[in-house]
Amino acid sequence: MQHVLSYLKPYRKWMIVAWIFMLIELFVELWQPLLMEKIIDHGVISKNLHIIWTWGAVMLGTSLLAFASGIANSFVAAHVGQQYGFDLRKHLFEKIQSFSFANFEQFSTASLITRMTNDVTQMQNMVFMSLRIMLRAPLLVVFGVVMSLFVHVQLALIFVVTVPLLLVFLIWMMNKAAAWFSVVQQALDRVNSVMRENLAGMRLIKAWMRGTYEQERFTKANETLMTRTMSVLRLIETITPVLLFVMNMAIIVILSVGRMEIHTGSATAGQVVAVVNYTTRITTALSIFTFITMAFSRARASAQRISDVFTAQVDIVDDERAHDTNIQEGEVRFDHVSFRYPNSHSFVLKDISFVVRPHETVAILGATGAGKSSLLQLIPRLYDAIEGRVLIDGIDVRQMKQESLRTYIRFVPQDILLFSGTIEDNIRFGKEDASMEDIIQAAKHAQIHETIMKFPKGYDTLIGQKGVNLSGGQKQRLSIARALVGTPKILLLDDSTSALDLKTEGKLLQALKTYTCTTFIVTQKIQTAMEADTIFLLDDGVLLAKGSHNELLQTSDLYRKMVESQFGKKGLGDVKTAT
């Protein structure tokens, strides 16, 4: 909670202003019963109109002052609450940007979205309430009791028993509700997660007619959210009746004792009215505790969830000694590299060593799950090797600043992601200051320029969400153009040409040869691999063999089997490149 509240520091002055307005309101509220006592005892009972008019005017004036202070307090509280929410969201977003892939596996996307929206809103509400009523209500209770003791000790003694008991009850409820609210937030995460998956996979769901199943999945998550929320609300809703019952009993006691006291002359009617008035004000303040309990309990659960994000250890950070590096050549060396994912115990890459000379092209072949993508991800340091070193131009990637390392490496992942915007925007994503010529050049090399020119708006064509208006092959080529626009030193293509026909792919591979960069191509196609200078054969995380196509035909049974499976036995001798 403390860390999350530290973002209030810049607004301390405004908070004090809000509290000053709140104190004015509180002062008036506490003074009103005393004025009432005066008007009844010295005005109404004594039939003194002057007193009634004078103190009536004072009551009206102070009420107007309280009214104006209330509005000013609300205004400032809303301002601080909104600014605080803005800052919290901004810092959360920045923290999430610094997350490594391992961190993203720790928090689901849906949960991060809930934390950045719903949880921040809960904190925002709590700040608003703390400036508006959260402090006013307890102060009103405490000073209400003190003032009624001041008016008439015997009449007010009932509070000395009831109010502490009620406070203990409220604090107990608050603690209980906080734990329950954190369970409610988890259920909300689940609803968000089901919704997110459903919307992202809508095409698949429709094509596979899984609508009913999805409906059931959502209903289940939604029901859990509802029942958990109902349970916590039921708990909270017991507060007000308990409060009202106890305080109404207190009023009955005050009226009975008051009647006797007036009879014996040890209390005036004005004093009894004033103490009853304090009782109703204290009851209102205590019933506000229901909302405060709810807001505070929710905020406590939300603060914890936000704090978990802020305190998450980012495992891939720049070392203190890391320096900016210009990758000049693009030599990539793996030195006895072993790797497993942070959430797993089994190694997916085992003792891999190789050197890829600058400007060489390497094709990585292997069965699915062999570790091809994992190997690529170690080069731009999306993950760190558990054992061994990854070196570029002889420097360990952990000694380079991530920003400078990634400036020179272009990674085209297996799952293509395009952003909403124009085609030009999407290609420019690779290099913000790229000229139109650079963009067209990259598109030509990626074999997508002609397709783009066929669209009525050419490079200004708007890409729908995630590129829905493009074919799989078009999306792949566009994402390759995005990688080429920055003239990379190391290019990593993770099965990024799988949807291309052999002819287009051949042209693309030829165009890539004009780039002076080291290229890694993960592929399932022998035809593609044959275009590379070297082929790496990965099997179950082990670099089983490496060499040219002809060398591997001689040395690797597995490679021969792969060639056979794609071209037949006869094709072993006369496989030709596509170009």
Ligand X SMILES: Nc1ncnc2c1ncn2[C@@H]1O[C@H](COP(=O)(O)OP(=O)(O)OP(=O)(O)O)[C@@H](O)[C@H]1O
CA–CA dist 285, 294 (Å, integer):
15
Name the minimum Å distance from CB 371 to ligand X.
Answer: 4
Name the minimum Å distance from CB 374 to ligand X.
Answer: 3
Q: Which residue in the set 212, 311, 368, 565 belongs to the binding site for ligand X (CB under 6 A)?
A: 368
CA–CA dist 182, 284 (Å, integer):
28
Sign for the CA dihedral angle at 416, 420, 424, 425 comes to negative
- Closest CB to ligand X among residues 100, 162: 100
| Owner of token pair 């800052």 | 87
Q: Which residue in the set 372, 398, 477, 546 belongs to the binding site for ligand X (CB under 6 A)?
A: 372
Name the minimum Å distance from CB 317 to ligand X.
Answer: 19
Q: Which residue in the set 10, 369, 421, 571 belongs to the binding site for ligand X (CB under 6 A)?
A: 369
**Residue ranges of E strands in 457-552:** 462-463, 490-494, 518-522, 534-539, 542-547
Using CB under 6 A, which of the segments 217-225, 367-375, 390-398, 543-551 binds ligand X? Answer: 367-375
Using CB under 6 A, which of the segments 126-134, 226-234, 362-370, 423-431 binds ligand X? Answer: 362-370
Name the minimum Å distance from CB 368 to ligand X.
Answer: 3
Residue 194 Cα distances to 104, 189, 191, 200, 417, angstroms: 17, 9, 5, 10, 21
CA–CA dist 8, 87 (Å, integer):
9
Q: Which residue in the set 221, 239, 370, 480 belongs to the binding site for ligand X (CB under 6 A)?
A: 370
- Closest CB to ligand X among residues 61, 369: 369
Q: Does 211 bind ligand X (CB under 6 A)?
A: no
Helix or strand or coil: residue 469? coil
Give residues 386-445 in contact with ligand X (rule: CB under 6 A).
414
Name the minimum Å distance from CB 325 to ligand X.
Answer: 26
Name the minimum Å distance from CB 105 to ligand X.
Answer: 6
484 neighbors 442 (Cβ within 8 angstroms):
yes
Name the minimum Å distance from CB 546 to ligand X.
Answer: 16
Site string for ligand X, 235-264 (x = CB under 6 A): ------------------------------
Name the minimum Å distance from CB 408 to ligand X.
Answer: 23
36 neighbors 277 (Cβ within 8 angstroms):
yes
Q: Is 428 exposed, middle or buried (0-12, 13-18, 19+ CB in 10 A)?
A: buried
Helix (H) or strand (E) holding 29: helix 12-38
Q: Which residue in the set 344, 514, 550, 565 belongs to the binding site for ligand X (CB under 6 A)?
A: 344
Rg over alpha carbons for the chain, rounded to the nearest Å, is 36
Q: Does 341 bind ligand X (CB under 6 A)?
A: yes
- Closest CB to ligand X among residues 305, 372: 372
Name the minimum Å distance from CB 356 to ligand X.
Answer: 18
3-state class percentages of the chain: helix first, strand second, coil last, to nearest 5: 65, 10, 25
147 neighbors 278 (Cβ within 8 angstroms):
yes
Residue 170 Cα distances to 83, 183, 290, 293, angstroms: 30, 20, 8, 8
Using CB under 6 A, which of the segments 233-241, 262-270, 371-379, 442-450 binds ligand X? Answer: 371-379
How far, rounded to the nearest angstrom, does the alpha carbon of residue 335 sit from its chain's CA centroid?
A: 37
Name the minimum Å distance from CB 541 to ligand X.
Answer: 7
Residue 265 backbone phi and psi in degrees, to 5: 85, 10
- Closest CB to ligand X among residues 364, 480: 364
Q: Does 549 bind ligand X (CB under 6 A)?
A: no
- The answer for 545, left when phi > 0, alpha when psi is -120 to 50, beta otherwise, is beta
- Closest CB to ligand X among residues 341, 455: 341
Name the minimum Å distance from CB 369 to ligand X.
Answer: 4
CA–CA dist 434, 469 (Å, integer):
25
202 neighbors 218 (Cβ within 8 angstroms):
no
Name the minimum Å distance from CB 523 to ligand X.
Answer: 9
- Closest CB to ligand X among residues 374, 528: 374
CA–CA dist 537, 156 (Å, integer):
87
- Closest CB to ligand X among residues 101, 245: 101
- Closest CB to ligand X among residues 326, 368: 368
Q: Could you tell me which residues come within 8 angstroms of residue 151 by beta carbon, excluding any fewer than 6 positions away?
A: 33, 34, 37, 271, 274, 275, 278
- Closest CB to ligand X among residues 105, 460: 105
- Any idea how long the chain is? 579
Name the minimum Å distance from CB 388 to ligand X.
Answer: 16
Using CB under 6 A, which of the segments 50-58, 372-380, 415-423, 482-490 binds ligand X? Answer: 372-380
Buried b (16+ CB within 10 A) or exposed e, 535-552: bbbbeebbbbbbbebeeb
- Closest CB to ligand X among residues 258, 371: 371
> Which residue from 257, 254, 261, 300 is spatially nearest to 279, judged by alpha carbons?
254
Q: Where are the alpha helices (DSSP H) in 311-398?
A: 372-378
Using CB under 6 A, which of the segments 152-160, 330-338, 366-374, 446-454 binds ligand X? Answer: 366-374
Number of residues that bind ligand X (CB under 6 A): 14
Sign for the CA dihedral angle at 199, 202, 204, 209 comes to positive
Using CB under 6 A, which of the segments 128-136, 290-298, 337-345, 512-520 binds ligand X? Answer: 337-345
Site string for ligand X, 88-117 (x = CB under 6 A): -----------------x------------
Q: Which residue in the set 73, 373, 441, 534 belongs to the binding site for ligand X (CB under 6 A)?
A: 373
CA–CA dist 114, 110 (Å, integer):
6
Q: Which residues bind ligand X (CB under 6 A)?
A: 105, 341, 343-344, 348, 366, 368-374, 414
